[in-house]
Amino acid sequence: MHSETIFVGIDVSKDQLDIAIRPGEARFRESNNDSGIQALIVRLLSCEPQLILLEATGGYEILAAASLRQAGLPAHVINPRQVRDFARSSGKLAKTDKIDAAILAHFAEALKPDLRPWPDGQQQELAALMSRRRQLVEMLVMEKNRLSMTCSTRVRKSLQTNLQSLKDQLQELEQDLDDFIRHSPVWLEKAQLLQSVPGIGPLTCQSLLAWVPELGTLNRKKIAALVGLAPFNRDSGQMRGKRTIWGGRARVRPPLYMATLTACRVNPVIRAFYLRLVAAGKSKKVALTACMRKLLIILNAILKQQQPWCPHAPVNL
């Protein structure tokens, strides 16, 4: 048993893991593959760290983080923006893999972020399917833009062939998503509860289930902050700045925004709220953002209470 509390930072790249341990100056490197991760697990198990921080790096961190959690180690993946802000506030402007690992360890020791539950296999699969859907949609948009700008017959033919292939893949993937949710009693129940709210369609439902697994487990303030819909103050001395939203899980906001546009027409609670804000002098953009937050809070309450949509149900949770 160690008398001192150990914190570990791991900087992840495609091929390697750079590790820093605090307190102390221990630094070492392992390969980002099964054998390297197993060697890392053996070494860290002997340290009994309180927290291990890895920076999100586009998916390269998933194998290491999942393996560490499966081994019973307290691994946590953190937003890289938070780490860079912390580094700048500490006066550390240089950036190398070893420095980044040391900053992650320092961040863990200084701020001790809460350890979130690691998504299970089904949650990871759903998130992967939704990420692939987003990629296909982005590729479709790019190919359509290229088609509108080319005059070459041969290039147009190539683009049209690729567009049809992407459309077929997207249709097949959307069917897979639908089947994936329908064949799981837990997912199906959550989807039915969410889609009981006027304005919430299958895509918004799937996005929330994939990218906000905490929905229904947090209070209204925390869920709004998690998605990036909590207004932040911009005050200094006598100056009172505009309240703005910032950060959070940006990829879930576009489908939630589209759902809010629909809800402002068909959902009596959201529509009344929107009209009241506009009548009070709020801009349409501010009113829509507030409606997004209110809709999210309603969805959070519905999953927490396990009760379908009711216009008169309280949502102060």
Is 221 strand, coil or helix? helix
pLDDT in tens, 80-93: 888 888 888 877 77
Q: How far apart are CA 49 and CA 305, in angstroms?
A: 37
Contact 269, 311 (CB under 8 A): yes
Residue 86's alpha-carbon distances to 100, 108, 277, in angstroms, are: 11, 11, 37
Mean pLDDT of 11-39: 93
Tell me what pLDDT residue 78 has.
87
Q: How far apart are CA 140 and CA 162, in angstroms?
A: 9
State yes or no: pLDDT of 185 exceeds 70: yes
State yes or no: pLDDT of 241 exceeds 50: no
State yes or no: pLDDT of 105 exceeds 70: yes
Q: What pTM does this model have? A: 0.76
State yes or no: pLDDT of 115 exceeds 80: no
State yes or no: pLDDT of 11 exceeds 60: yes
Position 313 confidence tier, pLDDT thresholds 50, 70, 90: low
Query: Which H helix or E strand runs over 45?
Result: helix 34-47
* pLDDT, averaged across the chain: 89
State yes or no: pLDDT of 245 exceeds 90: no
Class of domain 7-111: alpha beta
Mean pLDDT of 76-80: 87
- Residue indicated by tokens 């006027």: 198
